[in-house]
Structure 1
């Protein structure tokens, strides 16, 4: 009996993970805090940053995925380095995914470029709680399910994993580019049960900024991958006097990746605080009718920020 229900739960998780794989570690408000895209960007602007996002995805679905993430980064001027700390929670139907990551990056200043090399360690704890499913008795996905079954009500699977994150970020006049790779090295799971299919992660970032009078225009390309599925994103953002901004994003490029378009608005309060809002729509009408919109809210504090209109006031390199 137990093995049958475990198989059934595995089928549910496979569906959830297949859909979820199209949104690989996706915190699309990347313009708000670049640490979300590459841990080696911590401290490059020479300010301490506290940021948080809340994302509600596909709001027509009963299993609406929700993400909360909070970040803290700070430069360490005495040794030309920086550290970062992240907490996050992702819930998706019966799945609850919690994690924490800490990292350190060392900055190397060259004549025309700035390099940052980072190392992080990440802890993930994922739980599938089958007792949270509430269905009437009868047939469900080809199986006979009784919500009164005491075995089902007690069924909960969990897994923990530790991963190492290696990152590199290059900043120059021409373009910014970064890569981050996460590889698991330890798992704690019930015997014979594997509910995390892969914790591998690859992030690639290309970024370019232009400053014209009081306007700052930026364009970015992001690629997220678990070495099996890729998720691409293009962004274009514009800010005026570092007081308010708007932008456009296009994600996916493939029908099977639930392509979406979106726009964002952000406002600067009191010089150090940013409030942001982003909304996305699936591009294809059939997906739009069944999944609905995605919304995301962001908040960021820049502590001891200076000269906000200049190009990245990096504390390690006086050429900017």
Structure 2
């Protein structure tokens, strides 16, 4: 790996606390475009000096993370161990002194110590894609162009999403049926989806159909029907105790393995799956129904590739 990239990884981990391998990969691409190859073409993707693998990125992130020995993360782990021993040996006295510039029990990791409900609210907030959690959600009252949202979900969306969840094979090319789901379960990055999602024309079309309250209700219905918050079973350096988002009653072994393996739990891949796949599919289905157009026409309308 080029030294400029490894130095950048150290800077991002140290100063911004980024430990997600996928996020770091995206940041490295931005760094390449904006700092190293500003007025020239990028090197080919097979050049591992400038396009390191996810494994290489993970190793560099982990190495830098381990150097932060006096961090709140180390203290959290020690506190957890002490609390465990206190519960096992109730007649014994245990005392721990943590850094003086922090109050005991208060750490910078915003997920540590959050209740299941608080973490659920945080994930739902991410999925709804707005910074506030104070908008009222009155399920069954919203409508999109005269169509009741709850009725749309029950009649047109729920069954279709269930069918999509069980798909294991199919054409993964853009605009083929449910290509995002098929690419996602094969652990392919959704670069094309990100381009479509950031299309100004597509944003304008989506804004015409969905505003915050409407999309909050639909997101709540999708999460309520399919989402399941599970306690983490894989605890490690980058995966503190907590909950991750998975799926209810899903028989797709390929999909569940991606959601619930070590990487899936550590990076909370369920959030990405709901946000980039299920909720996108719900938008497309709604557009096809209310505008009376085909599924593909609705997808090209809301998520144009150019």
TM-score for the superposition, normalised by structure 2:
0.21
Structure with greater proportional helix content: 2
Structure with greater proportional strand content: 1
TM-score for the superposition, normalised by structure 1:
0.21
